[in-house]
């Protein structure tokens, strides 16, 4: 259902697109900006390695775990309403972050900021899906992908410059400005719409999923400090498994599930979800790990570190739009599979350069990774919306975005833990029983504290251990990305299964399951 008190004009649609693009650009700015500013934030606010890890993971956790709920709320109570409410919350807590006095409050505000981001993103993308159809919708989503790329490309260098000039709190002011522009344009030009068949939020599903993701993230982040055999870690990981099982059971019994599990019967839908998760370990984790390496470990200043990241994220400025144009000649499965394969090549290439390499030598492999991930980036959102009925665009956006963002949060936690373990294993006997503590500090870019734990080791030995661990991690990411490229190509390329067929069969299956439960 739409509010047709004012019809959408071509100019009005463009303003809606621009509003969503501003919101989309703000999300990566707050993500990459915190990564670039983490060493400065650590110096100002202090905090343990796990508290510093939560500075990035708290945002990703709440963002990823509430996206499906936000999508369901948008379908039920109005996409414009959720979009504007989310922007307001996002801007409010972004302002609060600039005045945080200690790392605990910073982490809490990051979590609250993520909730607002989820509402803004789900509501905005669902609203956009109502304004454009067919090829125009695919192009619109490609432009949003490019806007996200602008935030990723210029976020590190802009954040580095603002930190150098005004201090780390300044990185949140640009985010607030973009959110304000999106809020004003959205209030004026976005038309209210909702799903007339929506039945409200699946609260049991939302709470069980959020609790499961929280337990998993907490357990993975705590493991490097306490050990994988620590009772708390075991309890949290076991709780995550049980809560995910409970979430699955809940979604199978409700009439209008937040996550329609019947869709996972279809390879093309599964392929889209794998595609959503792929950038997490092929690209996004590098947005956090590389600034920490460049600034905290290799000693670059924030501006130089941000400049290096342009090679990685710069291709997202134009290639997502180009990918949309390439669909005239190539199937999406071919474009997406080839892009992930290119990213795998770049990851392996980057693994050949140890810590201390000449910075210019890293540009080509970073550019290769960025080019590869940009090709599927521009198609992912459009593909996600295409596999469900238009009326449930909020659910489609929520499922896809949850897979992507929750995957990024979990991947970041897992990759951080793996890098810590690999670094610890490569420090040698000289580190003694302090190897784990040293590795945790190196992973967060705190070279000075790491050296202080075992002064006899020397900085060169610490850098060598970290470098070997980083290279081993990149080999692992290469293998996972290459495998994903093959699976995505095969699943998305399945013939005889149109988006309409998937949507219709999924709806019929859901109705049949509901009737079976009633009898």
Do 103 and 52 contact (CB within 8 A), yes or no? Answer: yes
In Å, how far are 202, 208, 210, 243, 245 from 205, measured between CA atoms?
5, 5, 8, 10, 11
- The predicted pLDDT at position 214 comes to 81
- The predicted pLDDT at position 382 comes to 64
For the chain, how big is the Rg over CA atoms in Å?
22
Pair of tokens at residue 20: 């969503």
- The CA distance from 383 to 502, in Å, is 13
- The CA distance from 331 to 58, in Å, is 37
- The predicted pLDDT at position 473 comes to 94
Q: In the chain, what are the domains? A: 10-201+263-513 (1.20.1250.20)
- The predicted pLDDT at position 281 comes to 85
pLDDT tens, N- to C-terminus, the chain (519 residues):
444 444 467 778 888 888 988 888 888 788 778 877 887 888 888 777 778 878 877 887 788 778 777 877 887 788 899 999 999 999 999 999 989 888 889 999 999 998 999 899 888 888 887 887 767 776 777 677 667 767 776 777 788 888 888 888 888 888 899 999 999 998 888 888 876 666 666 677 778 887 887 888 778 777 776 777 788 889 988 998 998 898 888 877 876 666 666 666 767 777 777 777 888 888 888 988 898 888 888 888 878 888 888 888 888 777 877 776 777 788 877 888 889 999 999 999 999 999 888 989 999 999 999 999 888 876 776 666 555 555 555 555 556 666 777 777 778 778 888 998 898 888 877 777 778 788 888 887 777 877 777 777 778 888 888 899 999 999 999 999 999 899 888 877 655 444 444 444 444 444 443 343 444
- The predicted pLDDT at position 71 comes to 78
Residues in CB range of 297: below 8 A, 6 or more apart = 355, 442, 445, 447, 463, 466
Pair of tokens at residue 453: 């734990």
Residue 193 phi/psi, 5-degree rounding, is: -155, 155
SS3 state of residue 133: coil
**Where do we find the tokens 């839908």?**
269
- The predicted pLDDT at position 261 comes to 67
SS3 state of residue 132: coil
- The CA distance from 33 to 99, in Å, is 16
Query: Which residues, in sequence order, are bridge partners of residue 193?
Result: 2
Tell me the residue length of the chain. 519
- The predicted pLDDT at position 445 comes to 77
Quote the distance between the C-alpha of residue 391 and its chain's center: 25
């Amino acid at each position: 259902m739409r509010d047709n008190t004012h019809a959408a004009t071509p100019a009005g649609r463009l303003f809606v697109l621009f509003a969503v693009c501003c919101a989309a650009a703000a999300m990566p700015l707050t993500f990459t900006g915190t990564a670039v500013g983490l060493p400065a934030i650590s110096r100002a606010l202090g905090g343990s390695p796990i508290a510093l890890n939560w500075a990035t993971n708290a945002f990703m956790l709440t963002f990823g775990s509430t996206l499906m709920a936000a999508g369901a709320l948008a379908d039920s109570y109005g996409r414009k309403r959720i979009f504007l409410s989310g922007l307001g919350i996002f801007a409010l807590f972004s302002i609060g972050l600039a005045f945080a006095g200690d790392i605990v409050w910073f982490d809490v505000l990051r979590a609250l900021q993520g909730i607002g981001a989820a509402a803004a993103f789900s509501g905005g993308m669902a609203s956009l899906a109502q304004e454009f159809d067919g090829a125009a919708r695919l192009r619109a989503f490609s432009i949003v992908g490019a806007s996200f790329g602008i935030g990723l490309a210029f976020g590190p260098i802009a954040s580095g410059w603002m930190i150098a000039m005004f201090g780390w709190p300044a990185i949140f002011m640009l985010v607030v400005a973009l959110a304000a522009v999106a809020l004003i344009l959205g209030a004026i030009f976005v038309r209210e719409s909702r799903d007339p068949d929506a039945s409200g939020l699946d609260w049991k599903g939302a709470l069980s999923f959020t609790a499961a993701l929280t337990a998993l993230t907490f357990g993975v982040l705590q493991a490097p400090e306490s050990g994988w055999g620590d009772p708390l870690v075991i309890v949290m990981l076991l709780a995550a498994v049980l809560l995910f099982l409970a979430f699955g059971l809940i979604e199978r019994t409700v009439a209008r599930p937040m996550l329609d599990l019947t869709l996972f019967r279809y390879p093309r839908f599964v392929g889209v979800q794998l595609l959503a998760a792929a950038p997490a370990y092929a690209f996004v984790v590098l947005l956090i790990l590389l600034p920490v390496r460049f600034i905290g470990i290799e000693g670059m200043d924030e501006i130089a570190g941000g400049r290096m990241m342009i090679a990685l994220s710069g291709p997202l400025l134009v290639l997502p739009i180009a990918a949309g144009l390439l669909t005239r000649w190539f199937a999406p499965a071919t474009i997406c599979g080839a892009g992930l394969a290119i990213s795998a090549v770049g990851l392996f290439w980057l693994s050949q350069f140890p810590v201390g390499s000449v910075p210019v030598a890293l540009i080509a492999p970073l550019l290769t990774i960025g080019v590869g991930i940009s090709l599927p980036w521009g198609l992912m959102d459009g593909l996600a919306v295409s596999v469900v009925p238009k009326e449930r665009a909020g659910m489609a956006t929520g499922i896809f975005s949850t897979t992507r963002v929750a995957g990024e949060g979990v991947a970041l936690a897992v990759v951080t833990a793996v890098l810590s373990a690999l670094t610890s294993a490569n420090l040698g006997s000289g580190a003694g029983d302090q190897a784990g503590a040293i590795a945790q500090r190196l992973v967060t870019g705190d070279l000075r504290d790491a050296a202080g734990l075992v002064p006899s080791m020397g900085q060169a030995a610490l850098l060598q251990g970290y470098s070997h661990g980083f290279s081993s991690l990149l080999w692992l990411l290469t293998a996972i990305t290459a495998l994903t490229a093959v699976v995505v190509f095969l699943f998305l390329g399945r013939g005889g299964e149109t988006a309409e067929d998937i949507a219709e069969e999924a709806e019929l299956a859901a109705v049949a399951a509901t009737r079976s439960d009633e009898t």
